[in-house]
Structure 1
Amino acid sequence: MDEPRGDYWYNLVTGKVEVGAQSDWTQLIGPYASREEAEHAIEKVHERNRSWEQGEED
């Protein structure tokens, strides 16, 4: 059975992907279009934070 597209969330507490927002919104980032995109969500967050911090140093 195929999973729906466009309703994947990364749970910051568990570190797992949820299909549909199953947890409290304060624990989630998303939605993402695919499971793979959601699985890499925290990496993107860290990447953007580093970029933002470097911008402040300049």
Structure 2
Amino acid sequence: MAEYWYNTETGEVEEGRRSDWSKVMGPYPSREGAQHAIEQAKARTQAWDREDEERR
């Protein structure tokens, strides 16, 4: 089964990890999932920030 990685340096999706681990996010089970990696990461970070604020 193919794995997809989002390259944070180029903004491209890679099928199979071809780039250095420090430049990729993943693996994702689909190309579409990898394409939305940054949005997912931002949403999670915002949710964690809200949780931190609520605990204060």
The reply to whether TM is greater than 0.5 is yes
Give the TM-score taking structure 2 as reference length. 0.89
- 2:48 matched residue in structure 1: 52
Q: Sequence identity, in percent?
A: 48
Structure 2 partner of 1:7: 3
Question: What one-letter code is carried by the residue in structure 1 that aligns with 2:48?
Answer: W
Structure 2 counterparts to residues 17-56 of structure 1, below 5 A:
17-56=13-52
Contiguous gaps of at least 5 residues in structure 1: none
TM-score (norm 1): 0.86
**Structure 2: stretches of 5+ with no match in the other structure:** none
Structure 1 segments (4+ residues) deviating >2 Å: none
* Alignment pair present for 1:16 and 2:12: yes
RMSD over equivalenced CA pairs, Å: 0.9
Aligned residues: 54
